[in-house]
Structure 1
Amino acid sequence: MTGLHERHLAVSPEWLALYYRHPLELTHGEGRHVWDADGNRYLDFFGGILTTMTAHALPEVTKAVAEQAGRIIHSSTLYLNRPMVEMAERIATLSGIPDARVFFTTSGTEANDTALLLATAYRRSNQILAMRNSYHGRSFSTVSITGNQAWSPTSLSPLQTLYVHGGVRSRGPYAELSDERFIQACVADLEDLLGHTRRPAALIAEPVQGVGGFTSPPDGLFAAFREVLDRHGVLWISDEVQTGWGRTGDHFWGWQAHAEHGPPDILTFAKGIGNGMSVGGVVARAEVMNCLDANSISTFGGSPITMAASLANLSYLLEHDLQGNARRVGGLLIERLRGVTAASPAVREVRGRGLMIGIELVRTGTDEADPEAAAAVLEAARAGGLLIGKGGGHSTSVLRIAPPLTLTVAEAEEGAAILADALHAAG
């Protein structure tokens, strides 16, 4: 055990998880690579949990941060903030939400917490619909709407939460149905649920479930849900903390795979837009955003330095078509991963879209999740020079692969080869 690890354990909560038997201290990064305190170099396929979205030490972002730091770092929302207004204008346009208003936070948890506040105040209801296998943050309100038991440490809640089918396509009671019948069954379940409860304030859903193992429903499910929700006066919150900014390749926002009836009422974002800076936020149409009848500010949300970073990062992302790169290189990567895992009895499924890919591991000859195998592959991949993540529903048996959106074809090939070796070594 390293000295830093011992010091960490002495002052940190026991529930603050660390990856690896011998945890890493990352000291610096460049592009898609990071280095640890021992000088080892790794290809980074997790980006600080999908947060270093563009690249490590991206010159455009570091320059913007340095220049802003030389002027003023912090002011709070009590003062006009030019970078914040400029960023809000760009996000309002990109969101697709008409007459949009934007409120900045410091994290995805805080963004989802704000969205819940807005929805419950607007609809005067403390009932929330959420998806099974979901994850929305670590605050008291967001763990209470998280449908993944491993990440929900208390049953106490300020909200009454009801869970809906549909977030996981290949498991559960509807898994054997066709996509069309799967959607029909999930809609019927939602209709039945709404017939047995008072009117909920909102449905919150990740278009692709992140911590849940990069699972997603067939395209169009949330459009079908939207018809039912609108009829019952229930808002739709799209949690884009992990799916936003083009990561899925096919779309800029995850909700656009379900766009038949237009954008969500509320959209939340965070993680990648700051490329490592602490940025989150909420977008909603004006009547929803303005429904609060008490004062509110944000001390750190939308700070000049985080907004400067986000503006530079967003400009780079759009100018270099990183959504298109996620679609092209992500498509190649997922096909390579399906190829190298095809003969492995431990791999149940390789799924995902763009640069958001999951490999689900099971005990050989069964459909039972195998978290021990996932942990072993994580270790073996590290030994081979690759950092990945893990997640999943009832256990952490899914390898999570989400490289920076500037990933090259050569790096995708290299990462797939290392993963193939790691699966073999761990098997």
Structure 2
Amino acid sequence: MTNDLLGRHRAVLPDWLALYYEEPLELTHGEGRHVWDAQGNRYLDFFGGILTTMTAHALPEVTKAVSEQAGRIIHSSTLYLNRPMVELAERIAQLSGIPDARVFFTTSGTEANDTALLLATAYRRSNTILAMRNSYHGRSFSAVGITGNSGWSPTSLSPLQTLYVHGGVRTRGPFASLSDEAYIAACVEDLRDLLGHTRAPAALIAEPVQGVGGFTAPPDGLYAAFREVLHERGILWIADEVQTGWGRTGEHFWGWQAHGRNGPPDIMTFAKGIGNGMSIGGVVARSEIMNCLDSNSISTFGGTQITMAAGLANLNYLLEHDLQGNARRVGGLLIERLRAVAAQVPAVREVRGRGLMIGIEITKPGTDEADPRTAAAVLEAAREGGLLIGKGGGHNTSSLRVAPPLSLNVAEAEEGAAILENALRSVR
């Protein structure tokens, strides 16, 4: 029984290990864009295991690849040659746009960002990092030290000196009233001023779209403008593509490409969707950066054969079926549908996003004050209607996050939008 499992969960797992819903769900199986709980209830999944089930639940091509690889060898560590790892690295290096790229695989986005920080600080001989306000980069000791969202940073202790930059949230803060062009100019001047008061940082790390922060984003071109300033000083740009990668935004394969006027980032991290639920993360960087470490290293579980087989099958499916294009088309319809609903719901401050990465910010009507209680009520009401969504945001977790698998079809988008409409209206 679920209640028995909840009691056992609370008895042996940490109190800070968050669970959704007043009555938490045990999901037992899934297919396509749907999942089922232990009581047999069926849900349309608009969160995909926090954007990890990027393509579809129980995708036959991935399931087959995992099964066949498990029948041969599951794991050997990086101390041995690994054909699936080399093949996936070759594909990712080519897709990254980074010249002479090298790829290192990890088991999570947290570990990928941790590795990127190691590379940047070693290469630049500096432990100063620039990060964005409202950002999230993982739960390791170094990652929480650069996270600009207090709700997800449990300690102020850090091996890094972190300086936070304006720009990740377009509609809040001192520059919100400016035009996009003026907003970018103001953020660039703030960056220049900040750099005038500190030792040379190693890197700027930034999510093109802030995931845990509530799917917020700057105007297109901000990071390109930042990069001009960074390049003048030799400071690296790390693009955290853990949530934006693999075509989720629809308009681009990578989120950085909306800011790509000056070329690709120096370092890029990825995770979540590439394995369609299997535990894959990684770092792509120029060879001189990746190879700057002067000591031995391995990865026990990063790049293991079974996860690489899943990643290859999933990437092939994604490209062959143009799921980026599907995210653009179906996501565009879904965003417009949700904006039409939001215009009639005073608690919705903003519907934002692109592709199948959509945020719905909930505030107290007529104000900019966060309303996490109402956001939580909408989450519950959506579940009661048969829809699973996420939540996030830097202002007391008052944004709903909508990120279905990229194979979502129009009928399912309409169904999910109707459930969300009912949920939003039910808590007015």
Alignment partner, residue 169 of structure 1: 170
Cα distance in 2 for residues equivalent to 1:282 and 1:362: 37
- Taking the TM superposition and a 5 Å limit, the aligned residue runs for 1:4-19 are 4-19=5-20
Alignment partner, residue 84 of structure 1: 85
Cα distance in 2 for residues equivalent to 1:364 and 1:219: 29
* 1:420 and 2:391 correspond: no
SS at 1:259's partner residue?
helix
Q: Which AA in structure 2 matches 1:398?
A: S
Alignment partner, residue 258 of structure 2: 257
SS at 1:57's partner residue?
coil
- Taking the TM superposition and a 5 Å limit, the aligned residue runs for 1:205-244 are 205-244=206-245
Structure 1 residue 254: deviation in Å?
0.2
Q: Which AA in structure 1 matches 2:88?
A: M
Structure 1 residue 426: deviation in Å?
2.0
Structure 1 residue 337: deviation in Å?
0.3
Cα distance in 2 for residues equivalent to 1:84 and 1:17: 33
Alignment partner, residue 383 of structure 1: 384
Alignment partner, residue 298 of structure 1: 299
Cα distance in 2 for residues equivalent to 1:135 and 1:407: 26
Alignment partner, residue 345 of structure 1: 346
Cα distance in 1 for residues equivalent to 2:395 and 2:374: 15
Q: Which AA in structure 2 matches 1:378?
A: L
Cα distance in 2 for residues equivalent to 1:365 and 1:86: 53
Cα distance in 2 for residues equivalent to 1:196 and 1:314: 44
Cα distance in 1 for residues equivalent to 2:347 and 2:21: 21
- Taking the TM superposition and a 5 Å limit, the aligned residue runs for 1:246-285 are 246-285=247-286
* 1:96 and 2:108 correspond: no
Answer yes or no: is the 8 Å Cα contact 1:68–1:308 preserved in 2: yes
Cα distance in 2 for residues equivalent to 1:368 and 1:58: 41
Alignment partner, residue 199 of structure 2: 198
Structure 1 unaligned blocks of 5 or more = none
Alignment partner, residue 158 of structure 1: 159
Deviations 1:221-275 (A, max 9, x none): 0000000000011000000000000000000000000010000000000000000
Alignment partner, residue 286 of structure 1: 287
Q: Which AA in structure 2 matches 1:408?
A: N
Equivalent pairs counted in the alignment come to: 427
Deviations 1:391-424 (A, max 9, x none): 0012110000000000000000000000000011
Cα distance in 2 for residues equivalent to 1:293 and 1:39: 54
Deviations 1:356-394 (A, max 9, x none): 000000012211010001100000000000000000012
Cα distance in 1 for residues equivalent to 2:24 and 2:118: 37
Cα distance in 1 for residues equivalent to 2:354 and 2:390: 16
TM-score normalised to structure 2 length:
0.99
Cα distance in 1 for residues equivalent to 2:380 and 2:169: 27
Alignment partner, residue 354 of structure 1: 355
TM-score normalised to structure 1 length:
1.00
Cα distance in 2 for residues equivalent to 1:367 and 1:141: 32
SS at 2:261's partner residue?
coil
Structure 2 unaligned blocks of 5 or more = none
Cα distance in 1 for residues equivalent to 2:230 and 2:342: 40
Answer yes or no: is the 8 Å Cα contact 1:97–1:263 preserved in 2: yes
Cα distance in 2 for residues equivalent to 1:249 and 1:341: 22
Higher alpha-carbon deviation: 365-374 or 238-247: 365-374
Alignment partner, residue 309 of structure 1: 310
SS at 2:114's partner residue?
helix
- Taking the TM superposition and a 5 Å limit, the aligned residue runs for 1:40-51 are 40-51=41-52
Q: Which AA in structure 2 matches 1:148?
A: N
Structure 1 residue 340: deviation in Å?
1.3
Q: After the TM superposition, list the runs of 4 or more consecutive aligned residues in structure 1 that deviate by more than 6 angstroms.
A: none
Answer yes or no: is the 8 Å Cα contact 1:149–1:394 preserved in 2: no
Residue identity over aligned pairs, in percent, reads 84
Alignment partner, residue 131 of structure 2: 130
SS at 1:2's partner residue?
helix
Alignment partner, residue 409 of structure 1: 410
Structure 1 residue 215: deviation in Å?
0.3
SS at 2:39's partner residue?
coil
Answer yes or no: is the 8 Å Cα contact 1:337–1:350 preserved in 2: yes
Answer yes or no: is the 8 Å Cα contact 1:64–1:308 preserved in 2: yes
Alignment partner, residue 392 of structure 1: 393
* 1:64 and 2:65 correspond: yes
